[in-house]
């Protein structure tokens, strides 16, 4: 059988620990036998980041801007322990943070839904995708612990020296205050990424804040979304048969719990932090969450939502058998290959991505799975496979297709 050709390279970002091991297995077993894989390879493994003073991360983000689509393996974000473990020159920043800042993107996280791994919410039939704004608010806030009686004010000084001043509170005793900010440009990028991704995946987009209480701050988010929607996306949404809808965050929470899923829920930074953990744990497993960074210009970087699965890696190094779930990492590849196929009009490549995803789902639904899923499945007598055994089972399912 002829291998599928690729016209444009995919940006490949290799990573660390157990996911680096899976990365190679996935390529060897599930990709290279079927595709003439055309990638521009960047090694974001911690050793190479350290050797290049993290230049390799910057280069990989620039390559993503050049080609448009990247696939990334999970990477270590160094902490004090990693400084000694890897003998690092510096505590390098999170690669995801660096790439996100360079692409100015929004991260969309969605669970992979299979029969046998049932969501805790009975009505959920389709995935719920969370889009989290990744800049500002409480994450860039300034806080003061108020020691006692006194007046707290919010002051803005314009370049020409004129001021806007608002009383926060006239304290009669001790307390706390907090100053938050966001910038319109970032909110606009967030909105564009959300509208674009909704069109891309043909899903409705929900956006929710607390604009009834926060009449200027949250209301600005609501207004920016609406202005951009009206000016640039309304027609395309109508054509695609999808809707954009804004509601209050508490109303959104209530609706989500009664919904069937199958939509994108855009959240402010804090709401997204909290809600994405709720959605992923209610859907079953962190190992079944995919993640894609979408820039407002339409660059895409696909990855798994989980980390490098360090504990399994140490077992692997000791020669012990591991049962690490590769599905989210495989879906990072299929997401990227499908997108590459769409952009290049390479139907074969997109169709291969569909087949590989279906093979993963069939494998699990036929009762063959890794340990993390076996612990939570509603299927009876699942077969627990090793990391490699699971990938081989997907391979034989793929060859049937
Ligand atoms: P993690 O790698 O996501 O793993 C946490 C635990 O979740 C694992 O120990 C394992 O539980 C379970 N798990 C996660 N993925 C799994 C999979 N595919 N199959 C089976 N079980 C899975 O998070 P972490 O241990 O907090 O972080 C490890 C490293 O990853 C850190 O250095 C962190 O900086 C990095 N990280 C990177 C990214 C990224 O690149 N996007 C994201 C998060 C964390 P059991 O051990 O109980 O089996
Ligand atoms: Mg969190």
The pLDDT tens digits of the residues spanning 223-254 come to 999 999 999 999 999 999 999 999 999 999 99
What is the average pLDDT value for the chain, to the nearest integer? 95
Question: Tell me: the pLDDT tens digits for 64-96?
Answer: 999 999 999 999 999 999 999 999 999 999 999
Counting ligands in written order, the one closest to the CA of 271 is: 2
**CB 220 near ligand 1, within 6 Å:** no
Question: How many whole angstroms separate alpha carbon 124 and alpha carbon 283?
Answer: 9
The token pair at 141 is: 């806030």
**pLDDT of 330-357, one tens digit each?**
999 999 999 999 999 999 999 999 999 9
The pLDDT confidence band at residue 284, using thresholds 50, 70 and 90, is confident
Question: Is the Cβ–Cβ distance between 264 and 246 less than 8 Å?
Answer: no
Kindly report, residue by residue over 256-283, the tens digit of the pLDDT: 999 999 999 999 999 988 898 889 888 8
For residue 127, the CA-to-ligand 1 centroid distance in Å is 21
Look up residue 356 and give its two tokens.
């590989």
Does residue 401 register a pLDDT over 80?
no
Q: Which of 281, 286, 326, 328 to mutate to test the pocket of ligand 1 (most atoms within 8 A of CB)?
A: 286
Report the distance separating Cα 68 and Cα 83, nearest Å: 33
User: Do 11 and 39 meet the contact criterion of CB atoms below 8 Å apart?
Assistant: yes
C-beta of 62 in contact with ligand 1 (< 6 A): no
Give the domains, in start order, of the chain with CATH numbers.
1-112+298-401 (3.40.718.10), 118-141+180-283 (3.40.718.10), 142-179 (no CATH)
Report d(CA 131, CA 380) in Å as an integer: 35
Q: What spacing in Å lies between the alpha carbon of 278 and ligand 2's midpoint?
A: 9
State whether the beta carbon of 372 lies less than 6 angstroms from ligand 1. yes
Q: Determine if ligand 1 sits within 6 Å of the CB of residue 22.
A: no
**Ligand 1: residue whose CA is nearest its atom 4:** 309
Question: What digits encode the pLDDT tens for the residues 133-174?
Answer: 988 888 888 999 999 999 999 999 999 999 999 999 999 999
The residue contributing the CA closest to ligand 1 atom 45 is: 311
Distance 271 CA to ligand 2 centre (A): 10
Point out the ligand 1 atom lying closest to the alpha carbon of residue 15: 40
Question: Which ligand ends up closest to the CA of 305?
Answer: 1
131 lines ligand 1 (CB under 6 A): no
Going by the DSSP 8-state scheme, the letter that residue 139 receives in this structure is: G
Cβ of 75 below 6 Å from ligand 1: yes
Query: What residues pair up with 294 in beta bridges, in sequence order?
Result: 106, 300
Q: Which ligand is the nearest neighbour of the Cα of 309?
A: 1
91, 242 in Cβ contact below 8 A? no
Alpha-carbon span 255 to 344, nearest angstrom:
38
pTM: 0.91
Strand partners, 165: 155
**CB 280 less than 6 A from any atom of ligand 1:** no
Rounded distance between C-alpha atoms, residue 10 and residue 337, angstroms: 8
**For residue range 210-224, what is the model confidence (pLDDT) as tens digits?**
999 999 999 999 999
Helix (H) or strand (E) holding 380: none
Ligand nearest to the CA of 304: 1
Task: Evaluate: CB of 301 within 6 angstroms of ligand 1.
Answer: no
Return the ligand 1 atom nearest residue 306 CA.
Answer: 3
Q: Is the CB of 96 under 6 A from ligand 1?
A: yes
CB-count burial class (<10 Å; 0-12, 13-18, 19+) for 1: exposed
- d(CA 134, ligand 2 centre) in Å: 12
How many angstroms separate the most distant Cα atoms in the chain? 80
Output the residue whose Cα is nearest ligand 1's atom 12.
309
Report the distance separating Cα 214 and Cα 93, nearest Å: 33
Atom of ligand 1 nearest to the CA of 303: 41
For ligand 1, atom 22, the nearest C-alpha belongs to 287
The ligand 1 atom at the shortest distance from the C-alpha of residue 74 is: 40
Residue 143, φ and ψ in degrees, nearest 5: -130, 150
Ligand 1 centroid to Cα of residue 21, in Å, is 14
| Least distant ligand from the CA of 99 | 1
Q: Which residues of 105-133 are buried (b: 16+ CB within 10 A; e: fewer)?
A: bbbbbbbbbbebbebeeeebeebbbbbbb
Q: Is the pLDDT of residue 368 over 80?
A: yes
What tokens does 214 get? 């926060």
């Amino acid at each position: 059988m002829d291998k599928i050709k690729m016209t444009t390279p995919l940006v490949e970002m290799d990573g660390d620990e157990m996911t680096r091991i899976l990365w190679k297995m996935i390529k060897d077993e599930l990709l290279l036998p079927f595709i003439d894989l055309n990638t521009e390879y960047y090694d974001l493994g911690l050793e190479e980041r350290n050797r290049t003073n993290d230049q390799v991360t910057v280069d990989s983000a620039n390559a993503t801007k050049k080609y448009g689509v990247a696939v990334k393996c999970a990477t270590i974000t160094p902490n004090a322990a990693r400084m000694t473990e890897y003998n690092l020159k510096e505590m390098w920043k999170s690669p995801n943070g660096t790439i996100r800042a360079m692409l100015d993107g929004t991260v969309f996280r969605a669970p992979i839904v299979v029969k046998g791994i049932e969501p805790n919410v009975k009505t959920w039939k389709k995935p719920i995708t969370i889009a989290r704004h990744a800049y500002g608010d409480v994450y860039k806030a300034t806080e003061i612990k108020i020691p006692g009686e006194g007046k707290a004010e919010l002051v803005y000084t314009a370049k020409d020296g004129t001021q806007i001043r608002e009383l926060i509170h006239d304290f009669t005793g001790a307390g706390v205050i907090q100053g938050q900010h966001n910038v319109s440009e970032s909110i606009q990028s967030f909105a564009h990424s959300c509208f674009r991704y909704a069109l891309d995946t043909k899903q409705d987009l929900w956006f929710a804040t607390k604009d009834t209480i926060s009449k200027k701050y949250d209301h600005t988010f609501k207004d920016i979304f609406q202005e951009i929607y009206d000016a640039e996306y309304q027609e395309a949404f109508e054509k695609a048969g999808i809707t954009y809808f804004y509601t209050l965050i508490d109303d959104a929470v209530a609706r989500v719990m009664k919904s069937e899923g199958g939509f994108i829920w855009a959240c402010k930074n804090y709401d997204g932090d909290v809600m994405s953990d709720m959605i992923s744990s209610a859907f079953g497993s962190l190992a079944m969450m995919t993640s894609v960074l979408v820039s407002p210009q339409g660059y895409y970087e696909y990855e798994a939502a989980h980390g490098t699965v360090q504990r399994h890696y140490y077992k692997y190094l000791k020669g012990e058998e591991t049962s690490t779930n590769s599905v989210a990492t495989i879906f990072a590849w299929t997401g990227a290959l499908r997108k590459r196929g769409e952009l290049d009009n390479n139907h074969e490549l997109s169709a291969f991505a569909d087949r590989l995803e279906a093979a993963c789902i069939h494998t699990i639904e036929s009762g063959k799975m890794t340990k993390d899923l076996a612990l939570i499945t509603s299927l009876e007598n699942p077969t627990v496979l090793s990391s490699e055994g699971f990938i081989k089972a997907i391979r034989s399912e793929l060859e049937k297709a």
